[in-house]
């Protein structure tokens, strides 16, 4: 590629994540940089499990399917619109999205995340991935606003 460090994007299958992915892909093409798509999964011991004590759903496989479902259409559309090919590195990790994106930021040129635009109460209770990444990333961060907050042209 063009010798640039990679651009990292969080992918969780939501509309805001898809917008972040499309923007990150175009930016990676513009810069000649590889694009690292990061999706996480985490089994919470409090989740429902059978009597044997292990989940019956392969959460890593589900995370891969979510990532593929989000990446494949965006890449296909972007490749048709953007003449320069982008090397896409797919990464599915066990852990929290914020921790994975902050760790990936150490070698990145840019981290791109979407935001769900939750209110302050939900943000306090659930935490905000974008806020954690902004505070702790080792490189610049782009936060894509929620779809319903996007500026209309």
- DSSP assignment of 6-72, as one string? EEEEE--SSHHHHHHHHHHHHHHHHHT--EEEEEEE---TTS---TTSS-SS-HHHHHHHHHHHHHH
**Contact (Cβ atoms closer than 8 angstroms) between residue 115 and residue 16:** yes
User: Model confidence over 67-76: pLDDT tens digits?
Assistant: 999 999 988 8
Helical axes 97-105 vs 129-136, angle rounded to 10°: 30
Give the model confidence (pLDDT) of 83-140 as tens digits: 778 999 999 999 999 999 999 999 999 999 998 765 554 444 345 898 999 999 999 9
pLDDT at 43 over 90: no
**What is the structure's pLDDT at 123?**
46
CB 141 within 8 A of CB 134: yes
The confidence score (pLDDT) of residue 117 equals 63
Q: Please give the pLDDT value at position 115.
A: 85
- Per-residue pLDDT at 4: 73
Residue 85 is predicted with a pLDDT of 83
Give the mean pLDDT of 49-57. Answer: 61
3-state secondary structure of 78: helix
The token duo for 109 is 């040129």
* pLDDT for residue 135: 93
| pLDDT in the model for residue 35 | 96
Residue 3 in tokens: 């010798």
Contact present, 25 and 8 (Cβ < 8 Å): no
Whether 82 and 26 have beta carbons less than 8 Å apart is answered as yes
Q: How far is CA 26 from CA 14, 58, 82, 84, 127, in A?
A: 19, 32, 7, 9, 29
- Confidence band of 8 (pLDDT split at 50, 70, 90): very high
Q: Is the pLDDT of residue 58 over 60?
A: yes
The CA distance from 153 to 142, in Å, is 20
Q: How confident is the model at residue 1 (pLDDT cuts 50, 70, 90)?
A: very low
CA distances (Å), 43 to each of 2, 12, 52, 57, 67, in order?
38, 15, 15, 10, 17
In the prediction, which pLDDT does 90 show?
A: 95
């Amino acid at each position: 590629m063009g010798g640039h460090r990679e651009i990292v994007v969080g992918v969780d299958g939501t509309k805001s994540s898809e917008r972040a992915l499309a923007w990150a892909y175009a930016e990676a093409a513009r810069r000649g940089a590889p694009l690292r798509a990061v999706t996480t999964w985490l089994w919470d011991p409090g989740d429902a499990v059978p009597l044997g004590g292990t989940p019956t759903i392969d959460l890593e496989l589900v995370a891969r399917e979510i990532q593929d479902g989000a990446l494949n259409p965006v890449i296909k559309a972007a490749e048709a619109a953007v003449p320069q090919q982008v090397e896409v590195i797919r990464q599915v990790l066990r852990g929290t999205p914020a921790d994975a994106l902050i760790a990936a930021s150490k070698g990145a040129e840019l981290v791109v995340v979407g935001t769900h635009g939750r209110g302050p109460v939900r943000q306090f209770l659930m935490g905000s991935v974008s806020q954690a990444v902004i505070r702790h990333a080792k490189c610049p961060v782009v936060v894509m606003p929620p779809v319903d907050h996007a500026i209309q042209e």
